[in-house]
């Protein structure tokens, strides 16, 4: 399973290299490369990165599953903030910073993989310690973390996510063809951030709906499965980095 996760990480990393070219082509078709085209290209690029389910996506689902819709939306906002920030950096200084980011390899992959594994293990421990059944129902529910805290946590998680770093370097190499003007660059960033938040919102609402429709024991099983997948994906990142 870890080998499959490593292969998935490697395939997605290769696919990111063609994201900007495809987004640019879409922008040319929709709006002829004007403002609408830049916005559409940003939405396409944002969805290309956000839709494939990775560790952060699983954690968003888990956040909504256990803590409800508002907490899940706070997590979604944190993810979208970093996606838009990285995109803005790529627009502004990507040509300068992309070679520096690439020169750090393979350390970002190792650090990101270890962080993802640690998060998955922590979620596993929390889920295993959580009691279910009548006895648990009689206990007062633990105080939920503030939405601001959840937002900050997911900002940090997305910032160290290896796919986000790869996205940054892929974007930086081809943004000149996508956003030829200042207004086009701004609209491209808006499109990326909007697409990221939109998809993360879908994941958060999916998790909260599952949490509302299932019993405590089923919710616990789903949490364990999600946390286990996060660990596997983290190990996959480490294996893919070591074999790159």
pLDDT tens digit string along 100-119? 766 777 777 788 788 888 88
Estimate the share of the chain in helix, then strand, then coil, as percent rounded to the nearest 5: 85, 0, 15
Q: Which of 2-11, 106-115, 183-192, 235-244 has the lowest mean pLDDT?
A: 2-11
The token pair that represents 73 in the structure block: 């939306």
pLDDT of the residue at 197: 96
Map tokens 């000149």 to a residue: 176
Q: Is the pLDDT reported for residue 215 higher than 60?
A: yes
Q: What is the pLDDT of residues 145-163, one digit of tens each?
A: 688 999 999 998 888 776 6
> Which of residues 174 and 50 earns the better pLDDT score?
50
The token pair that represents 74 in the structure block: 């706070």
Comparing CA positions, the residue from 164, 154, 152 lying closest to residue 52 is: 164
Report the C-alpha dihedral over residues 220, 223, 227, 228, rounded to 10 degrees. 60
pLDDT of the residue at 140: 41
User: How many Å is the Cα radius of gyration of the chain?
Assistant: 19
Q: Is the pLDDT reported for residue 85 higher than 50?
A: yes
């Amino acid at each position: 399973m870890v080998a499959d996760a490593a292969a998935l990480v490697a395939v997605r990393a290769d696919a990111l290299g063609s994201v900007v070219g495809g987004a640019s082509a879409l922008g040319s078709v929709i709006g002829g490369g004007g403002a609408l085209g830049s916005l559409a290209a940003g939405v396409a690029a944002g969805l290309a990165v956000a839709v494939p389910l990775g560790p952060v996506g699983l954690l968003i689902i888990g956040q909504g599953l256990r803590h409800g819709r508002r907490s899940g939306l706070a997590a979604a906002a944190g993810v979208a903030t970093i996606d838009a920030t990285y995109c803005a950096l790529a627009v502004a200084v990507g040509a300068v910073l992309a070679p520096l980011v690439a020169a750090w390899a393979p350390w970002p992959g190792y650090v990101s993989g270890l962080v993802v594994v640690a998060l998955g293990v922590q979620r596993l421990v929390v889920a295993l310690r959580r009691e279910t059944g009548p006895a648990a129902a009689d206990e007062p529910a633990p105080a939920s973390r503030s939405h601001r805290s959840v937002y900050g946590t997911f900002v940090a998680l997305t910032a160290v996510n290896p796919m986000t770093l790869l996205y940054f370097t892929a974007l930086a190499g081809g943004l000149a063809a996508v956003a030829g003007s200042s207004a086009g660059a701004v609209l491209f960033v808006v499109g990326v951030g909007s697409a990221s938040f939109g998809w993360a919102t879908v994941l958060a609402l999916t998790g909260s709906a599952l949490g509302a429709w299932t019993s405590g024991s089923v919710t616990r099983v789903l949490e364990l499965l999600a946390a286990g997948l996060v660990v596997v994906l983290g190990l996959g990142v480490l294996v893919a980095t070591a074999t790159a």
